[in-house]
Structure 1
Amino acid sequence: MIQLPDSVKTYFDASNMEHLDSFLAAFNDDAYVFDFNRDFKGIEAIRNWSKTDIFGVHVRFEITDATEQDGVYAVIASLDGDFDKTNLPSPLYLKHTFKLAGGKIKELQVSLP
Protein backbone atom coordinates (compact mmCIF):
# COMPACT_ATOMS: atom_id res chain seq x y z
CA MET A 1 0.00 0.00 0.00
CA ILE A 2 1.23 3.50 -0.78
CA GLN A 3 2.07 6.27 1.67
CA LEU A 4 -0.96 8.56 1.94
CA PRO A 5 -0.70 12.36 2.19
CA ASP A 6 -1.29 13.84 5.63
CA SER A 7 -4.69 15.31 4.73
CA VAL A 8 -5.97 11.94 3.51
CA LYS A 9 -4.67 10.17 6.63
CA THR A 10 -6.27 12.89 8.75
CA TYR A 11 -9.64 12.36 7.03
CA PHE A 12 -9.72 8.73 8.19
CA ASP A 13 -7.99 9.19 11.57
CA ALA A 14 -10.15 12.16 12.59
CA SER A 15 -13.27 10.26 11.56
CA ASN A 16 -12.28 7.25 13.65
CA MET A 17 -11.40 9.42 16.66
CA GLU A 18 -14.44 11.68 16.18
CA HIS A 19 -12.38 14.89 15.94
CA LEU A 20 -14.53 17.17 13.81
CA ASP A 21 -12.13 20.14 13.83
CA SER A 22 -9.19 18.00 12.68
CA PHE A 23 -11.42 16.39 10.05
CA LEU A 24 -12.44 19.77 8.63
CA ALA A 25 -8.86 21.07 8.72
CA ALA A 26 -7.96 18.40 6.13
CA PHE A 27 -10.15 20.19 3.54
CA ASN A 28 -9.65 23.39 1.55
CA ASP A 29 -12.26 26.04 2.38
CA ASP A 30 -13.80 25.66 -1.10
CA ALA A 31 -13.59 21.85 -1.26
CA TYR A 32 -16.22 19.63 -2.87
CA VAL A 33 -17.57 16.32 -1.60
CA PHE A 34 -19.54 14.06 -3.93
CA ASP A 35 -21.16 11.39 -1.76
CA PHE A 36 -22.98 9.12 -4.20
CA ASN A 37 -25.66 11.42 -5.69
CA ARG A 38 -25.22 14.28 -3.22
CA ASP A 39 -22.87 17.27 -3.62
CA PHE A 40 -21.48 19.40 -0.81
CA LYS A 41 -19.48 22.54 -1.65
CA GLY A 42 -17.53 24.53 0.89
CA ILE A 43 -16.44 23.87 4.43
CA GLU A 44 -19.83 24.61 6.05
CA ALA A 45 -21.64 22.15 3.78
CA ILE A 46 -18.92 19.57 4.46
CA ARG A 47 -19.28 20.23 8.21
CA ASN A 48 -23.04 19.57 8.04
CA TRP A 49 -22.56 16.43 5.90
CA SER A 50 -19.90 15.02 8.21
CA LYS A 51 -21.91 15.76 11.35
CA THR A 52 -24.80 13.62 10.10
CA ASP A 53 -23.15 11.04 7.84
CA ILE A 54 -19.90 10.36 9.71
CA PHE A 55 -19.80 11.70 13.24
CA GLY A 56 -23.52 11.42 13.98
CA VAL A 57 -23.47 7.68 13.28
CA HIS A 58 -19.97 7.02 14.67
CA VAL A 59 -18.47 5.74 11.42
CA ARG A 60 -15.23 3.81 11.76
CA PHE A 61 -13.01 3.23 8.73
CA GLU A 62 -10.39 0.57 8.15
CA ILE A 63 -8.25 1.17 5.08
CA THR A 64 -7.80 -1.99 3.03
CA ASP A 65 -6.13 -0.62 -0.11
CA ALA A 66 -4.77 2.64 -1.47
CA THR A 67 -3.40 3.68 -4.84
CA GLU A 68 -2.17 6.87 -6.45
CA GLN A 69 -2.28 7.83 -10.10
CA ASP A 70 -1.45 11.28 -11.48
CA GLY A 71 -1.86 12.85 -8.03
CA VAL A 72 -5.28 11.31 -7.42
CA TYR A 73 -5.52 9.00 -4.41
CA ALA A 74 -8.03 6.15 -4.33
CA VAL A 75 -8.59 4.55 -0.94
CA ILE A 76 -10.76 1.50 -0.31
CA ALA A 77 -11.96 1.27 3.27
CA SER A 78 -14.38 -0.93 5.12
CA LEU A 79 -16.70 0.93 7.42
CA ASP A 80 -18.92 0.28 10.34
CA GLY A 81 -21.00 2.47 12.59
CA ASP A 82 -24.44 3.08 14.05
CA PHE A 83 -26.28 3.44 10.73
CA ASP A 84 -29.01 1.33 9.13
CA LYS A 85 -27.26 -1.65 7.54
CA THR A 86 -30.41 -3.15 6.01
CA ASN A 87 -29.60 -4.62 2.57
CA LEU A 88 -25.96 -3.50 2.80
CA PRO A 89 -23.12 -5.97 2.26
CA SER A 90 -21.08 -7.03 5.25
CA PRO A 91 -18.41 -5.92 5.36
CA LEU A 92 -19.29 -2.68 3.58
CA TYR A 93 -16.50 -1.20 1.45
CA LEU A 94 -16.42 2.32 0.02
CA LYS A 95 -14.00 3.93 -2.37
CA HIS A 96 -12.80 7.41 -1.47
CA THR A 97 -11.14 9.28 -4.34
CA PHE A 98 -9.17 12.34 -3.25
CA LYS A 99 -7.84 15.25 -5.29
CA LEU A 100 -5.56 17.59 -3.37
CA ALA A 101 -4.49 21.22 -3.69
CA GLY A 102 -1.89 22.79 -1.45
CA GLY A 103 -1.70 19.59 0.58
CA LYS A 104 -5.39 19.69 1.52
CA ILE A 105 -8.41 17.86 0.14
CA LYS A 106 -9.86 19.83 -2.78
CA GLU A 107 -12.28 17.16 -3.96
CA LEU A 108 -13.57 13.92 -2.48
CA GLN A 109 -15.76 11.42 -4.27
CA VAL A 110 -17.31 8.58 -2.26
CA SER A 111 -18.60 5.58 -4.21
CA LEU A 112 -18.79 1.82 -4.26
CA PRO A 113 -15.50 0.17 -5.28
Structure 2
Amino acid sequence: MKDVTNSLPSVILDHIQAHNTPDPAAFAATFASNALVNDARREWVGVDAISKWAEKEIFGDNVRVELVSAYELEGMYIVRLKNDGDFDKAGLPDPIILTNYFTLINDKIAQLIVLLNMVSYPDKPEPGIR
Protein backbone atom coordinates (compact mmCIF):
# COMPACT_ATOMS: atom_id res chain seq x y z
CA MET A 1 0.00 0.00 0.00
CA LYS A 2 1.19 3.46 -0.84
CA ASP A 3 0.66 6.26 1.71
CA VAL A 4 -1.29 9.04 -0.06
CA THR A 5 -2.38 10.99 3.01
CA ASN A 6 -0.86 14.16 1.53
CA SER A 7 -1.71 13.45 -2.11
CA LEU A 8 -5.34 12.32 -2.31
CA PRO A 9 -7.23 12.81 -5.59
CA SER A 10 -9.12 16.10 -5.75
CA VAL A 11 -12.55 14.41 -5.81
CA ILE A 12 -11.87 12.78 -2.42
CA LEU A 13 -10.65 16.10 -1.01
CA ASP A 14 -13.78 17.79 -2.44
CA HIS A 15 -15.90 15.05 -0.83
CA ILE A 16 -14.32 15.69 2.58
CA GLN A 17 -14.68 19.46 2.21
CA ALA A 18 -18.36 19.18 1.19
CA HIS A 19 -18.90 16.86 4.16
CA ASN A 20 -17.53 19.49 6.56
CA THR A 21 -18.84 22.71 4.97
CA PRO A 22 -21.67 21.36 4.93
CA ASP A 23 -22.62 21.48 1.24
CA PRO A 24 -25.07 18.75 0.16
CA ALA A 25 -24.96 19.77 -3.52
CA ALA A 26 -21.15 19.70 -3.65
CA PHE A 27 -21.21 16.38 -1.76
CA ALA A 28 -23.58 14.84 -4.33
CA ALA A 29 -21.45 16.21 -7.18
CA THR A 30 -18.50 14.05 -6.07
CA PHE A 31 -20.42 10.87 -6.99
CA ALA A 32 -20.95 9.23 -10.38
CA SER A 33 -24.63 9.14 -11.36
CA ASN A 34 -24.90 5.40 -10.71
CA ALA A 35 -22.57 5.28 -7.69
CA LEU A 36 -23.01 2.84 -4.84
CA VAL A 37 -22.57 3.68 -1.15
CA ASN A 38 -22.43 0.96 1.49
CA ASP A 39 -22.47 2.40 5.01
CA ALA A 40 -22.29 -0.25 7.73
CA ARG A 41 -23.76 -2.93 5.42
CA ARG A 42 -26.61 -0.71 4.17
CA GLU A 43 -26.61 0.20 0.46
CA TRP A 44 -27.74 3.15 -1.61
CA VAL A 45 -27.41 3.27 -5.41
CA GLY A 46 -27.55 6.43 -7.49
CA VAL A 47 -27.00 10.07 -6.59
CA ASP A 48 -30.63 10.66 -5.52
CA ALA A 49 -30.59 7.78 -3.01
CA ILE A 50 -27.11 8.74 -1.80
CA SER A 51 -28.24 12.36 -1.33
CA LYS A 52 -31.23 11.25 0.78
CA TRP A 53 -28.93 9.09 2.93
CA ALA A 54 -26.45 11.96 3.35
CA GLU A 55 -29.18 14.49 4.17
CA LYS A 56 -30.28 12.39 7.13
CA GLU A 57 -27.12 10.66 8.32
CA ILE A 58 -24.40 13.17 7.50
CA PHE A 59 -25.89 16.64 7.26
CA GLY A 60 -28.82 15.92 9.60
CA ASP A 61 -26.41 14.75 12.31
CA ASN A 62 -23.87 17.54 11.61
CA VAL A 63 -21.17 14.94 11.01
CA ARG A 64 -17.69 16.38 10.55
CA VAL A 65 -14.65 14.39 9.49
CA GLU A 66 -10.91 14.80 9.85
CA LEU A 67 -8.38 12.99 7.69
CA VAL A 68 -6.28 10.55 9.72
CA SER A 69 -4.52 8.60 6.97
CA ALA A 70 -4.96 7.45 3.40
CA TYR A 71 -3.51 4.65 1.32
CA GLU A 72 -3.78 3.68 -2.34
CA LEU A 73 -3.91 0.02 -3.28
CA GLU A 74 -4.41 -1.04 -6.91
CA GLY A 75 -6.51 2.05 -7.66
CA MET A 76 -8.64 1.85 -4.51
CA TYR A 77 -8.26 4.54 -1.86
CA ILE A 78 -8.46 3.49 1.78
CA VAL A 79 -9.15 6.65 3.75
CA ARG A 80 -9.41 6.72 7.53
CA LEU A 81 -11.52 9.61 8.84
CA LYS A 82 -12.12 10.69 12.42
CA ASN A 83 -15.87 11.33 12.76
CA ASP A 84 -17.77 13.57 15.16
CA GLY A 85 -21.22 15.13 15.18
CA ASP A 86 -24.62 15.19 16.83
CA PHE A 87 -25.31 11.44 16.77
CA ASP A 88 -25.57 8.76 19.46
CA LYS A 89 -22.02 7.68 20.27
CA ALA A 90 -23.03 5.06 22.86
CA GLY A 91 -20.99 1.90 22.40
CA LEU A 92 -18.64 3.49 19.87
CA PRO A 93 -14.90 3.96 20.35
CA ASP A 94 -13.46 7.38 21.17
CA PRO A 95 -12.32 8.66 18.79
CA ILE A 96 -14.60 7.26 16.08
CA ILE A 97 -12.40 6.49 13.09
CA LEU A 98 -14.17 5.02 10.09
CA THR A 99 -12.43 3.44 7.14
CA ASN A 100 -13.74 4.70 3.79
CA TYR A 101 -12.98 2.62 0.69
CA PHE A 102 -13.23 4.79 -2.43
CA THR A 103 -13.31 3.49 -6.00
CA LEU A 104 -13.03 6.25 -8.59
CA ILE A 105 -14.04 6.27 -12.25
CA ASN A 106 -13.52 9.34 -14.45
CA ASP A 107 -12.73 11.54 -11.43
CA LYS A 108 -15.98 10.66 -9.66
CA ILE A 109 -16.73 8.35 -6.74
CA ALA A 110 -18.18 5.16 -8.25
CA GLN A 111 -18.23 3.23 -4.98
CA LEU A 112 -17.81 4.16 -1.33
CA ILE A 113 -17.81 1.59 1.45
CA VAL A 114 -17.75 2.93 5.02
CA LEU A 115 -16.86 0.61 7.91
CA LEU A 116 -15.79 0.69 11.54
CA ASN A 117 -12.84 -1.68 11.27
CA MET A 118 -10.29 -3.53 13.28
CA VAL A 119 -7.18 -2.54 11.32
CA SER A 120 -3.50 -3.28 11.09
CA TYR A 121 -1.46 -1.04 8.79
CA PRO A 122 2.29 -1.15 8.16
CA ASP A 123 2.86 2.03 10.18
CA LYS A 124 0.57 0.83 13.00
CA PRO A 125 1.21 -2.91 13.37
CA GLU A 126 -1.02 -3.42 16.40
CA PRO A 127 -4.50 -4.53 15.29
CA GLY A 128 -7.36 -2.66 16.89
CA ILE A 129 -10.14 -0.21 16.34
CA ARG A 130 -8.61 2.94 14.92
Aligned counterparts of 2:116 and 2:41: Cα–Cα separation in 1? 12
TM-score (norm 1): 0.97
Aligned counterparts of 2:32 and 2:76: Cα–Cα separation in 1? 16
User: Could you tell me which of 56, 66, 69 is aligned with 1:65?
Assistant: 69
Aligned counterparts of 2:19 and 2:65: Cα–Cα separation in 1? 8
Per-residue CA distance 1:37-85 (angstroms, 9 max, x = gap) = 2000000100000001100001010110000011100000111000011
- The percentage of counterpart residues that share the same residue type is 38
User: Could you tell me which of 36, 47, 58 is aligned with 1:43?
Assistant: 47
Aligned counterparts of 2:95 and 2:110: Cα–Cα separation in 1? 28
TM-score (norm 2): 0.85
Within a 5 Å distance, the mapping from 1:4-19 to structure 2 comes to 4-19=8-23
Aligned counterparts of 2:82 and 2:92: Cα–Cα separation in 1? 12
> Higher Cα Rg: structure 1 or 2?
2
Greater relative contact order (CA < 8 Å, ≥ 6 in sequence) = 1
| Structure 1 unaligned blocks of 5 or more | none
Aligned counterparts of 1:88 and 1:21: Cα–Cα separation in 2? 29
| Runs of 4+ residues over 6 Å off in structure 1 | none
| Structure 2 unaligned blocks of 5 or more | 118-130
Whichever structure has more helix as a proportion of its residues is: 1
Task: Please give the secondary structure, in 2, of the residue aligned with 1:85.
Answer: coil
Aligned counterparts of 2:16 and 2:56: Cα–Cα separation in 1? 16
1:96 partner amino acid:
N
User: Could you tell me which of 83, 97, 106 is aligned with 1:93?
Assistant: 97
Aligned counterparts of 1:14 and 1:56: Cα–Cα separation in 2? 14
User: Could you tell me which of 82, 90, 106 is aligned with 2:86?
Assistant: 82
Within a 5 Å distance, the mapping from 1:20-59 to structure 2 comes to 20-59=24-63
